[in-house]
Amino acid sequence: MFKQTEKKVIIEKLMYYPPSKGYAVILKEIDSEKKLPIIVGVFEAQAIALAVEKIKMPRPITHDLFTNFLLKEKIKLTKIVISDLIDGTFFANIFYYKKDSDVLNQIDSRPSDAIAIALRMKCDIFVTEKVMKAASQIIPDFITKPVNTNSNKEIKESKEKDTLYRLFQLQEKLQNAIDEENYEEAAKLRDQISDFEDNKNIN
């Protein structure tokens, strides 16, 4: 079977993407200016952002729980690969070894889940050359890189991060209200989240 060439990437930035009211994860190829934007939902962005910022939640979210399971069972992740792009949808694979086994296994995954888990397990992220050729872009540095001076852009990026975290807090409170069957509070929180997104305070 033909083995596709894989390009190692790093997460350069997680940025708000207004058209979908979601977020774009910018993956930058090592030793290249090529960057691959992948659009993810709000909850997926939360999982990635919390891992990037090393923020510990009071209770484990789904990706934390899965990571804890892998560590408990001594399953070793070797890498994740953004493997394909079909009809505008990205596909990924997670590669791993079971406990006391030298057989390399793989499972299919959404890229957002694979990235969130890779960050927690501290394993490398790759993109196949096929996907990079099809969807990578040369994104100017001023769009994705923070600056080191107290400019308006730096202030805006700081505000964006704070507001993003505020949105995550509202979502967690909403889930808690639903779990506790406090539907009146849940309705209020849904309205707050809706207003938050509609006003584009996270631009």
Tell me the per-residue pLDDT of 111-127, one tens digit each, with 9 for 90 and over.
999 999 999 999 999 99
Q: How many residues does the chain have?
A: 203
* Residue 102: band (very low, low, confident or very high) from pLDDT cuts 50, 70, 90: very high
C-alpha distance from residue 120 to each of 68, 110, 127 (Å): 9, 16, 18
Global pTM exceeds 0.75: no
Give mean pLDDT, residues 20-42: 89
Q: Left (φ > 0), alpha (ψ -120 to 50) or beta: where does 10 sit?
A: beta
Question: What is residue 29's predicted lDDT score, i.e. its pLDDT?
Answer: 94
Residue of 2 and 14 predicted with greater confidence: 14
Question: What is residue 166's predicted lDDT score, i.e. its pLDDT?
Answer: 64
**d(C-alpha 78, C-alpha 75), whole Å:** 10
The structure tokens 């001076």 sit at 149
Q: Give the pLDDT confidence of 116-163 residue by residue, as tens digits.
A: 999 999 999 999 999 999 998 876 554 444 434 344 444 344 445 555
* Residue 71: band (very low, low, confident or very high) from pLDDT cuts 50, 70, 90: very high
- What phi, psi does 13 have (nearest 5°)? -165, 155
Give mean pLDDT, residues 49-77: 91
Cα end-to-end span (Å), the chain? 45
Percent of the chain with pLDDT strictly greater than 90: 46
* Residue 200: band (very low, low, confident or very high) from pLDDT cuts 50, 70, 90: very low
Give mean pLDDT, residues 157-186: 66
